[in-house]
Amino acid sequence: MGEYMMRVKELSFSYGKNKILKNISLEIPEGKITTILGANGCGKSTLFSLMTKNLVPGRGSIYLQKKNIGGMSLGDFARRVSIVHQYNTAADDMTVERLIAMGRTPHQKAFGGKSEEDERLVEWALSVTNLVDFRGREVGKLSGGQRQRVWIAMALAQNTKMLFLDEPTTYLDIRYQLEILELVKRLNTEFGITIVMVLHEINQAICFSDRIIGLKDGHVAVEGDPEEVITPDTLEELYGVKLGVALIDGHKYVMTGNLM
Amino acid sequence: MLRKLNQNELADADNKRMQSKRFWMVITYIVTVMLLCTLFLVSVNIGSLKVSFSELFSGLFVAYDSNVATIYDLRFPRIIISMLAGAAVAVSGVLFQAVLKNPLADPGIIGISSGAGLAAVCVTALAPSLYFFTPVVACVGGVIAFLLVYILSWKGGLSPLRIILTGIAVDALFTGLSSVVNSMSGGDRTGVASIVEGNITQKTWADVRTLLPYVFVGMLLALLSVRKCNLLALEDKTARSLGVNVNQTRIGISVIAVILASISTAVVGAISFLGLIVPHIGRLLVGSDHKKLIPFSALAGAVIFLLADTIGRTIARPYEVAAPVVMSVIGGPFFLVLLKRKHKEV
């Protein structure tokens, strides 16, 4: 495998006496889509928060291109990594364009105006997410899928090489789920953005990721190419249920409807 | 093809809507400024002395006129103080609402003003020689009240309702203590009583000079934090992912809000509901972007508080109803309406 974008080294984290992550080490390859999977309470949200600097590791460290993120300022981090969180709010009367422009915050001086670069990147984010026609619309008037695209566009305006998404498809119906995942895929293939996301849907994870990291009780239980590592055995280890795996057109499908 | 066309039409409609919004915003600003000017002139002329506009103008700028001089000494300070305090409290309300993410936050309701008031009362009653430092002491009182409310209502997060409830308790405590100090000092020291009762009858140009620099600095800082206020409207995590240190930003903006509320309390007494009503009207008229909301709230706050003072002066002549009292009478029902609407949304 090529270069690593992010490297997690001997990472531990606990809430009080409750150990959430136990000495985890893993790598996020550059230019790939990596998906974190696992049952509720396996520690994937904690890992996500640690990798996005929302929590501080108890032990161990996380490196972004060989630089320890613990020593980076929030602004410095925001110029290199953008994050779309699961739950977002904005004032209802804020327009799409203004909200996306807020993604430029880490690149702007405290009291400066908009630069040409700012405008160019907002335009780019609008067109990539297919929101050009919606630029003047109030966020409160958008559908759930459109709103999620706005949050992704805001992250894109940050112009980073790495993008984190925390369950980007929750609250959306299947049509918008696919629309968002297609968009994520495009960001990766067309613009080479390294992507890390947390997903619940196993089949979508298989279909849209280059690499899977499966957590179980605070350690990495499964890691690798989804087509290789997803088997009835690994699924049982991750989720504690026996699920069948079918091969259709050379791709794996997990039978999530019924127990084996 | 058909879908594309519809899309374009929708985008056009968005554009038109934005344009008309911008148009109405400009109109709103112009009307508010005109209201303020009119109210100023009306207020100058209310009372036993009356002068025409031309007499006023010539008396002020051309030749000495004893009537105009009296009005200048007695009415002008009071009017200017009303406008400054109204603007300060309204902007303080906007900032508190941004920091606490709570549309019901108001420096009066959550006890900041009465904390500042108690501190000011204590200085005036117990250490009158420190009179000069009253504004600073009031700010310290305001900060203490804010910390109390913040810490007491913190429970792994800040629920809007808990802030209000804690605030009301803190407010009641400080208001009560102020009355105690007032009674213990004999209640005849006009300085103490005027803060407790929110009396602005006796104000002079010296009070204007006390208030002005603080309000000026506070307003300037508020205008400089416009972008930060907008970022705080996002989820904390999202603001953080944009490189914003959310806690530091909160503390900074809170300090500005406390200064604005405390300084006006030190001069005119605690004003309730003004910091609540004005931002709400502002959001309806100019939207929730703080770049527009903060300047508008300053203007509208000046208008509404001057209006309250003017009504207070005229409604029961020859007696006067204090402006903060008028504010409470108008503001109380308004607050109840907002509370009811808020519950419907939740």
Mean pLDDT to the nearest integer, A45-74: 94
Q: Respond yes or no on whether the N-terminal peptide bond of residue B279 is cis (omega within 30° of 0).
A: no
| Other Cβ atoms within 10 Å of B240 Cβ, number | 22
Residues contacting residue B160 through CB under 8 Å, at least 6 positions apart: B100, B101, B102, B103, B104, B105
Mutate which of B5, B24, B232, B234 to disrupt the A interface (most A C-beta within 10 Å)?
B234
Mean pLDDT of chain A: 92
Hey, are the CB atoms on A89 and B235 less than 8 Å from each other? yes
Q: How far is A259 from chain B (nearest CA, A)?
A: 38
Check if the beta carbon of residue A43 is closer than 8 Å to that of residue A125: no
pTM, two decimals, is 0.89
pLDDT at residue B320, as a whole number: 80
CATH level 3 topology of B82-343: ABC transporter involved in vitamin B12 uptake, BtuC (1.10.3470)
Q: With an 8 Å Cβ cutoff, is A75 touching chain B?
A: yes
- How far away is chain B from the Cα of A39, in angstroms, using its nearest Cα? 23
Chain A residues 156-215 within an 8 A CB cutoff of chain B: 158
State the Cα–Cα distance between residues B217 and B224, nearest whole angstrom. 11
SS3 B158: strand
Smallest Cβ–Cβ distance between A85 and the set B8, B231, B241 belongs to B241
Contact between A88 and B234 using a beta-carbon 8 Å cutoff: yes
Tokens encoding B226: 């416009």
pLDDT, residue B49, reads 75
CA distance, residue B93 to nearest chain A CA (Å): 17
**A16–chain B Cβ distance below 8 A for any pair:** no
Mutate which: B10, B101, B241, vs A, most A CBs within 10 A: B241
Q: Are A150 and A177 in contact (CB under 8 A)?
A: no
Min distance A80 CA to chain B CA atoms (Å): 10
- Whether A55 and chain B come into contact, CB under 8 Å, resolves to no
Flag whether residue B224 sits within 8 Å of chain A, measured between CB atoms. yes
Q: A94 at the B interface (CB within 8 A)?
A: yes
Kindly report, as residue ranges, where domains of CATH 1.10.3470.10 are found in chain B. Answer: 82-343
Secondary structure (H, E, C), chain A: CCCEEEEEEEEEEEECCEEEEEEEEEEEECCCEEEEEECCCCCHHHHHHHHCCCCCCCEEEEEECCEEHHHCCHHHHHHHEEEECCCCCCCCCCEHHHHHHHHHHHHCCCCCCCCHHHHHHHHHHHHHCCCHHHCCCEHHHCCHHHHHHHHHHHHHHCCCCEEEEECCCCCCCHHHHHHHHHHHHHHHHHHCCEEEEECCCHHHHHHHCCEEEEEECCEEEEEECHHHHCCHHHHHHHHCCCEEEEEECCEEEEEEEEEC
The amino acid occupying position B162 is: R
Q: Do A88 and B238 touch (CB under 8 A)?
A: yes
Burial (Cβ within 10 Å: 0-12, 13-18, ≥19) of residue B18? middle
B8 contacts in A (CB within 8 Å)? 133
Mean pLDDT of A107-122: 88
Look at residue B222 in the predicted model and tell me its pLDDT.
96
Q: Is residue B254 packed enough to be buried (19+ CB in 10 Å), middle (13-18) or exposed (0-12)?
A: buried
The residue with greater pLDDT, A189 or B201, is: A189
Cα–Cα distances in angstroms (integers) from residue B20 to residues A101, B17, B284, B292, in the given order: 22, 5, 14, 16
Cβ neighbours of A103 in B, within 8 Å: 242
- Answer whether A136 sits within 8 Å of B11, measured CB to CB: yes
Residue B204 at interface with chain A, using a CB cutoff of 8 Å: no
What is the rounded distance in angstroms from the CA atom of residue B205 to the CA atom of residue A167?
A: 61
Pick from B177, B181, B193, B165: which is nearest to B109 by CA? B165
Report the residue of chain B nearest A98, measured CA to CA: B289
Q: Which residues of B touch A98 (CB under 8 A)?
A: 289
Structure-token pair, residue B95: 């900032």
**B280 to chain A, closest Cα gap in Å:** 14
A85 vs B17: CB contact, 8 Å cut-off?
A: no
Task: Please indicate if any CB of chain B lies within 8 Å of the CB of A142.
Answer: no
Q: Give the rounded distance of the alpha carbon of A27 from its chain centre.
A: 15
Where helices occur in chain B by DSSP H, the ranges are 2-44, 53-61, 66-100, 112-126, 134-153, 160-184, 190-197, 205-224, 226-232, 236-241, 246-268, 274-286, 290-314, 323-345
| Contact state of A85 with B234 under an 8 Å Cβ cutoff | no
Chain B interface disruption, residue of A93, A121, A147, A166, most B CBs within 10 A: A93
Report, in angstroms and rounded to the nearest whole number, the Rg of chain B calculated over CA atoms. 22
In this structure, which amino acid lies at residue A207?
C
Which candidate from A85, A110, A134 shows the least CB-CB separation from B237? Answer: A85
The partner residue sitting opposite A136, judged by closest CB among B15, B231, B237, is B15
pLDDT of residue B1: 46
pLDDT in tens, A174-183: 999 999 999 9
On chain A, the residues whose CB falls within 8 A of the CB of B242 are 78, 102-103, 105-106, 158
Strand ranges of the sheet holding A219-224, from the earlier edge strand across to the other edge: A81-84, A162-166, A194-198, A33-38, A211-216, A219-224
Residue B11 confidence (pLDDT): 81
Residues 6+ apart with CB under 8 A from A251: A206, A207, A227
Q: Which residues of A touch B233 (CB under 8 A)?
A: 89-91, 94
Q: How many Å lie between the alpha carbon of B287 and the closest alpha carbon of chain A?
A: 7
B234 with A93: Cβ contact below 8 A: no
Nearest by CB to B14, from A83, A137, A151: name it: A137
**Euclidean distance between CA atoms A10 and B72, whole angstroms:** 75
Chain A residues within an 8 Å CB radius of B15? 136
ipTM of the complex: 0.92
Q: What is the pLDDT along chain B (346 residues), one digit of tens a residue?
A: 445 557 778 788 888 888 888 899 999 999 999 999 999 999 988 877 777 778 888 888 888 888 888 888 888 999 999 999 999 999 999 999 999 888 888 898 889 999 999 998 888 888 878 777 888 899 999 999 999 998 898 877 777 778 888 999 999 999 899 888 888 876 555 566 666 666 666 788 888 988 899 999 999 999 999 999 999 999 999 999 999 999 889 889 999 999 999 999 888 888 888 999 999 999 988 999 999 999 999 999 999 999 999 998 888 777 888 888 888 888 888 878 877 765 554 3
Interface test with B, best of A85, A88, A165 (most B CBs within 10 A): A85
Token readout for B345 is 């949304």
Closest by CA position to B262, among listed B121, B150, B116 = B116
Residue B311 has phi, psi (to 5 degrees) of: -60, -45
| Residue A185: count of CB within 10 angstroms of its CB | 15
- pLDDT at residue number A87: 92
Q: Which of A51, A74, A159 is best to mutate for the B interface (most B CBs within 10 A)?
A: A74
Does A46 contact chain B (CB < 8 Å)?
A: no
The Cα–Cα gap between A152 and A140 comes to 16
**Angle, alpha carbons A143-A48-A251 (nearest 5°):** 70
CA dist B344 and B346 (Å) reads 5
CA angle at residue A51 from A46 to A56, to 5 degrees?
Answer: 70
Of residues A3 and B32, which shows the higher confidence score?
B32
